[in-house]
Structure 1
Amino acid sequence: MQENYIYCIGLMSGTSLDGIDLAYIKMNKQSYCDFKILKADTIPYSSEWKKKLQEAITYKKSDLVTLDVAYGELLGGVLNNFVESHSIDNLDFIASHGHTILHQPENGITLQIGNGQVIANRTKQKVVCDFRTQDVQLGGQGAPLVPIGDKLLFANYDYCLNLGGFANISYEKDNQRIAFDICPVNIVLNHYTRKIGLEYDNEGKIASEGKINTELLRRLNELPFYQELHPKSLGLEWVKENIFPLIDQYENDIPTILRTFVEHVAMQVGSVIDKDSTILATGGGAFNTFLMNTIEFYAQTTIQQVSKELINYKEALIFAFLGLLRLENQVNCLKSVTGASKDHSSGKVFLCC
């Protein structure tokens, strides 16, 4: 029945700063796996906004409040343009992840900017956002949030692997959804390609021509985070404190850095995947052919190809789904994933005024 369907936009901005992902979704409220991405776009950041988001981790609290509002205005404008350009006239709500500036769950801190009230006012739509704060208040990591979507939308895969700014994974174990951040990926690879004037290493060609710095690889693999049990999550702060200084200490040749870090990522991902498993791989890293081949080597499995649309917009799709669950007061945060004290329905709802 047509009345079972809901129409929504999921909005996502990842730590790799590729841009703002928007996906217009049709989803069956009675059968969640019956969904379709109707329209989708990625809107690149201007150089000014990219600089602001990269530097925001150093901002004072008052400046972050100002940035939160300004970024909400930006998102509202981007959403209005998306709706207009695709002639969208059937829209029930918008679900926005925002952009993560601070993520220190061990200190009870997580901040995703993109003021929900500002977005609601600009778009004249119901907005669901701020999905992580409540989980951190309940003692959880506030991440990852995508696994409830993996569980309910992609149950036919053994593992759901996302290769964005960070690699994260989710899977079923003992009738529970397990998920955690594995290691950094594009947040590191892109940091070093920018030093040679490139936004990213296309298909991993530069990395494939580099050599492995075995001492650097050993030191990377010995970082204490990799010995910690899940639930666990990573943020830009951790990368700045642990990864960049280590790499810069041992290597300055960019192809060697990229080659070594690809090996590191593949070893860490491979260590958590059982042989001959089925894997749904999404995120920008799924287009890095050399990285994917190296992961397949360590995971001892073949990763099936999926549509570019799903690779690019799976997270936007799932945040739309998280918004639907929140509006229906259904669980969208799993304690087995985040370590929170209980399963819960997270996210704040804003109405235009």
Structure 2
Amino acid sequence: MAHKNSFRVLGMMSGTSLDGLDLALCDFERKGDFWSYRLIRAGYQNYSPELRTELATAISLGAPELMELDARYGAWLGKQAIDFLDTEAASLDAIASHGHTVHHRPHMGFTFQLGSPQNIALSSGLPAIGDFRSGDIALGGQGAPLVPIGDRLLFGKYAYCLNLGGIANISFERGGERVAFDIGIANMLLNHLVKPLDLHYDAEGSLARSGQINVGYLQALDALPYYKKPYPKSTGYEWFEETIIPLTRNFPDKPENLLRTAVQHIANQIAIQIHKVGKGAPGEVLVTGGGALNVFLIELLRDQLDPNFQVVIPDRELIDYKEAIVFGFLGALRLCNQHNVLASVTGASRNSCSGILCLP
């Protein structure tokens, strides 16, 4: 398909927050070196409590059980795709699926996203692209973040693109190269802290707003070694499970106080990094991901940032579906054999065209 200049792709994204599956059906058009997109339709599929539990605990599974879940979850993804597409399936070039990250260990040379693209293809009857991260790790990269290629080619008018998902990450241009890295923890911690209240998330940060800062907990979070590491760097659920959860247990307190502290910590670390990388280059900061809907977090972030950095909250569709849109775009780039992973972002030995294409 390298000769084509337009592609219709369904992007599917399951993030570390374990909220559910995002789906974005898009047209992508190439004119010379410039790309544009049109979001045709977007949707969301909640995880059942059983599937959410399976995904959350998959990190502890042995190899046979993990492979079985990989195939079964892939088939489930294919069914969600075909149900969502309905009559539009016939015009689709491919499904591009991020999968659900279970193991992300670039220092050990591997990463693993649940949701076999071959099972997606067979379940949906459509070409499917998945496993976008492994190729970059084989080239010595972090395999993450992947969204910055979309930030550069689709959202390049913004100086900084900040995503507030389970993990907070940022991308920007420096010296003609795209640079990006995971700043640190975000919604993954906030969602964990509301579990005792039988909630999935703190709507608009209202519980956090009602709490008081636990000074010891804030100091312990701000002192985590990850924040002092130079980029390129990435992190994931393992860091949260092995480092942040045990640390949190050391500071028993009311959920709203822990939430207030965690939100302050997140705003602190994001502002520190934006000031560090944006020294002398202020501009608009596009904020997407679920954290963009946390009104209290955004207020704290604006308070922490120099006024020369303008925090931009876009429309709800882009907040919710930007990552699914960009994974659709990664699929379009894969179909035309164009680089979709940037070495300047991941630390790999070279740029690459990543993703495994599976036919039904």
- TM-score, normalised via structure 1 length: 0.96
Q: For 1:88 and 1:132, how far apart are their aligned partners in 2?
A: 26
* CA shift for structure 1 position 278: 0.3
Q: Please give the per-residue CA displacement for 1:308-333, whole angstroms capped at 9, x wherever unaligned.
A: 11111100010011111111111111
Which residue does 1:319 correspond to in 2?
327
Q: Please give the per-residue CA displacement for 1:232-262, whole angstroms capped at 9, x wherever unaligned.
A: 0111111111111111102331011110010
Matched, 1:283 2:289: yes
* CA shift for structure 1 position 303: 1.4
Q: For 1:33 and 1:189, how far apart are their aligned partners in 2?
A: 36
C-alpha change, 1:77 and 1:89, in structure 2 (3 Å) is: same
Which residue does 1:339 correspond to in 2?
347
Please list, as runs of the form range in 1=range in 2, the aligned pairs for 1:75-224 lying within 5 A after superposition: 75-84=77-86, 87-224=88-225
Q: Please give the per-residue CA displacement for 1:108-158, whole angstroms capped at 9, x wherever unaligned.
A: 121001111111111111111100011111111110000011011111101
* CA shift for structure 1 position 78: 0.5
Which residue does 1:309 correspond to in 2?
317
Q: For 1:138 and 1:67, how far apart are their aligned partners in 2?
A: 27
Q: Please give the per-residue CA displacement for 1:243-301, whole angstroms capped at 9, x wherever unaligned.
A: 11111102331011110010110011001223752011000000000001111111223
Question: Could you tell me which amino acid in structure 2 is paired with residue 76 of structure 1?
Answer: G
Q: For 1:87 and 1:145, how far apart are their aligned partners in 2?
A: 27
Tell me which of 41, 55, 58 is aligned to 2:57. Answer: 55
Q: For 1:161 and 1:133, how far apart are their aligned partners in 2?
A: 24
Which residue does 1:350 correspond to in 2?
358
Matched, 1:41 2:47: no
Question: Could you tell me which amino acid in structure 2 is paired with residue 66 of structure 1?
Answer: E
Q: For 1:221 and 1:191, how far apart are their aligned partners in 2?
A: 18
2:292 touches 2:313 (CA, 8 Å); kept in 1? no
- TM-score, normalised via structure 2 length: 0.94
Q: For 2:127 and 2:180, how far apart are their aligned partners in 1?
A: 29
* CA shift for structure 1 position 87: 4.7
Unpaired stretches in structure 1, ≥5 consecutive residues: none
**Counterpart of 1:245 in 2: which secondary structure?**
helix
Q: For 2:225 and 2:312, how far apart are their aligned partners in 1?
A: 32
Tell me which of 311, 328, 336 is aligned to 1:328. Answer: 336
**Counterpart of 2:310 in 1: which secondary structure?**
coil
* CA shift for structure 1 position 88: 4.7
Q: Percent identity?
A: 45
Which residue does 2:71 correspond to in 1?
69
* CA shift for structure 1 position 341: 1.0
Q: For 1:87 and 1:160, how far apart are their aligned partners in 2?
A: 31
Q: For 2:215 and 2:35, how far apart are their aligned partners in 1?
A: 44
Q: For 2:82 and 2:44, how far apart are their aligned partners in 1?
A: 14
**Counterpart of 2:142 in 1: which secondary structure?**
coil
Q: CA RMSD in A?
A: 1.3
Question: Could you tell me which amino acid in structure 1 is paired with residue 325 of structure 2?
Answer: L
Q: Which runs of 4+ in 1 moved over 3 A?
A: 86-89
How many residues align? The count is 349
**Counterpart of 2:137 in 1: which secondary structure?**
helix
Q: For 1:210 and 1:313, how far apart are their aligned partners in 2?
A: 30
**Counterpart of 1:250 in 2: which secondary structure?**
coil
Unpaired stretches in structure 2, ≥5 consecutive residues: none
Q: For 1:59 and 1:192, how far apart are their aligned partners in 2?
A: 24
Q: Please give the per-residue CA displacement for 1:64-95, whole angstroms capped at 9, x wherever unaligned.
A: 110100001110111111012x6554211110
Which residue does 2:249 correspond to in 1?
248
* CA shift for structure 1 position 21: 0.4
Question: Could you tell me which amino acid in structure 2 is paired with residue 141 of structure 1?
Answer: Q
Question: Could you tell me which amino acid in structure 2 is paired with residue 294 of structure 1?
Answer: L
Q: For 1:33 and 1:283, how far apart are their aligned partners in 2?
A: 22
**Counterpart of 2:170 in 1: which secondary structure?**
strand
C-alpha change, 1:325 and 1:278, in structure 2 (3 Å) is: same
Q: For 2:126 and 2:88, how far apart are their aligned partners in 1?
A: 15
Q: For 2:244 and 2:312, how far apart are their aligned partners in 1?
A: 30
**Counterpart of 1:29 in 2: which secondary structure?**
strand
2:288 touches 2:322 (CA, 8 Å); kept in 1? yes
